[in-house]
Structure 1
């Protein structure tokens, strides 16, 4: 009996059953283009990845990077060196693996990945695997030595953006030639390789990973609101990113940034260190408390390198109160530690030393009228020279007025060249414990405490 199927029919059936041709589109910009280069859309806020579960399967997250949810928040980093807004594997690691578990199997239309950095951490090198979890012997978390293709995973695409350039924004879109879905999947696996770097710092700064559901809602994109202010002499730049709190942008522009422009050069002159130059650019980012790392959601602000993150909820509540003074405290830290070479070459001082400097400058030089670092009957019993922040600032004020007017300069110099308690004896003729006792006695007498 002859077959009813002709050769042409068999070829047609074969073509229909074949997987769609996958294409990898890449985009690159040496400057901030909002990840819109190469015709690739910017990160989305409501893609299917938003509700997916991301997990490190092999390798280790770097201690300086943000927690994994930063790659699905749709916002991206505020600047080109913003570790807490990116995910990357630990220094020295040769990459690692990330698994993504979707809430349910979906027709995956496309997958986009974004990265941004100043050097070798910018380009992306990875293999993308996908699975529906039904293959015999499926392994949801294959270790580094396991070939995913032997564990129920399908290789979808291989990505390497190094040919586009190094420092800058890299965007990747994995889709099909005809626009049909990549397939119906419930899991993805990113097998990430590190870029070549002689210091082991080649792990990509992944800013965002988007997964588009072919049957999902239209994608919504986060619009950045960023403005750069340049000092009158052209030496310094202050970048304000209020994308997460656009209602605060005008207030910050009118009230906050002029103070930063005025005080940052003053601080550099106030606590100089020969051979160390503080950064000429500060990035100020307003972030909602809910998008801050868990340990930072209750703090008003924090500094990392030349990046100052401001809690937008606190700034909004304290526009006429502590908001600006809080930012002054943080730019002191930028002067102390903001550039390469800002770390100490000897013994690093205790935290109370540097936090006390920042609060002394804030409460006794910037806003002394606020009297925010007073010793009162309420806090006297618990006040010690090393209590940090406001209390230590008050202790410094006592020492400056009675023994050493250049204490701020000396403390910052010790921060860079090495700190020791013996320095207090050199500076004042007394140990820090003797100064502490004298300071307490003076406050006790002033407060009339028996």
Structure 2
């Protein structure tokens, strides 16, 4: 009887494990989202918002930046993952711990699915620009950055365009507004087609990257 009980317990654990790995499939607007959740305590409201944000944002980013992007994406809530989120190979991995602590940070989705849209080849260009574009997109297309308490930081003299993420995103926003509208899309395309060079900045704007940063820094310091 004891052996039977152990076997039944192992079988139950195996079934639960299989069920936990079986994705829920959602389809909308010609796109498919597979949702795999390893955390039985994951907030259903957060899950619903992750799914909703995907279908609100991803098709728009595909249309605006890369129409050849994949149409099927997987979201994976991974209990072993301790950072925030990461994207690669058509999958976004999320930390359940992050969302327990920051349930309103729903535009993590916007940043990460932009990485799927980017799909830059190896050594396409600088990593700081990859992350800067993704945060620029989060700023421009995010569904609830305010609710997450997320914003682009004020300029500080210690900053540099290579700091990536929000610092680079704020620089890109300034470039779009005051120097060259459409520059972010041009940079994104150059990275994806592996045609990015340091000379792209002067070709597109008439100034080198360092000169652009100096002008940005001088104006931002006055505001």
Q: Secondary structure at the match of 1:386?
A: helix
| Cα distance in structure 1, aligned partners of 2:40 and 2:182 | 41
| Cα distance in structure 2, aligned partners of 1:246 and 1:226 | 14
Q: Following TM superposition, by how much is the alpha carbon of 1:416 offset from its aligned partner in structure 2, in angstroms?
A: 1.8
Q: Following TM superposition, by how much is the alpha carbon of 1:408 offset from its aligned partner in structure 2, in angstroms?
A: 2.2
State which of 176, 194, 207 in structure 2 corresponds to 1:430. Answer: 207
| Cα distance in structure 2, aligned partners of 1:360 and 1:215 | 58
| Cα distance in structure 2, aligned partners of 1:250 and 1:441 | 47
1:332 is aligned to 2:114? yes
Q: Following TM superposition, by how much is the alpha carbon of 1:226 offset from its aligned partner in structure 2, in angstroms?
A: 2.9
Q: Which runs of 5+ in 2 are unaligned?
A: none
| Cα distance in structure 2, aligned partners of 1:445 and 1:394 | 15
1:261 is aligned to 2:38? no
User: Which residue in 2 is equivalent to 1:250?
Assistant: 44
* TM-score normalised by structure 1 residue count: 0.44
User: Which residue in 2 is equivalent to 1:237?
Assistant: 32
* TM-score normalised by structure 2 residue count: 0.85
Higher fraction of strand: 1
| Cα distance in structure 1, aligned partners of 2:46 and 2:89 | 21
Distance 1:409 1:362, change over 3 A: same
Q: Which runs of 5+ in 1 are unaligned?
A: 1-213
User: Which residue in 2 is equivalent to 1:287?
Assistant: 78
Q: Secondary structure at the match of 1:330?
A: helix
User: Which residue in 2 is equivalent to 1:319?
Assistant: 103
| Cα distance in structure 2, aligned partners of 1:408 and 1:365 | 14
Aligned length: 209
| Cα distance in structure 2, aligned partners of 1:365 and 1:383 | 24
Runs of 4 or more, structure 1, over 6 Å off, are none
RMSD: 2.2
How does 1:11-90 map onto structure 2 within 5 Å? none
How does 1:350-365 map onto structure 2 within 5 Å? 350-365=126-141
How does 1:110-121 map onto structure 2 within 5 Å? none
Query: Does the CA contact (< 8 Å) of 1:272 and 1:409 recur in 2?
Result: no
Look at both structures and tell me which one has the larger radius of gyration over its CA atoms. 1
